[in-house]
Structure 1
């Protein structure tokens, strides 16, 4: 009986912390993207070309 109570408590805490992690992550990302520094950094940064595969970074193809 005690084991099931402890197990339920651990599972409840894990689920709560998992939800809290996503809430904090979303808040921090949103806060950084909407801040003055975040917007200025985004404007100044150069777009990075996407590579289609690992073969695109081959030494023979880099120019």
Structure 2
């Protein structure tokens, strides 16, 4: 996932994903982070996520495939 630059994004830190959809939203552990500076200023952080916890990775909607 790609987010606006965030220096708190570090490997093994938790990452809360929300507003995507049921079955995706939830807490994950960050596997890797790459920070990239943009020419027009600021930076972005690219995260690779692993280990969903809680309800992350499950979809409780009726008829949804898990």
- Which has the larger strand fraction? 2
The structure whose Rg is larger is 1
Q: The TM-score by the shorter chain falls in which range? A: under 0.3
TM-score when scaled to structure 1? 0.20
Whose RCO is larger (CA < 8 A, sep 6+)? Answer: 2
Query: TM-score, normalized by length of structure 2?
Result: 0.20
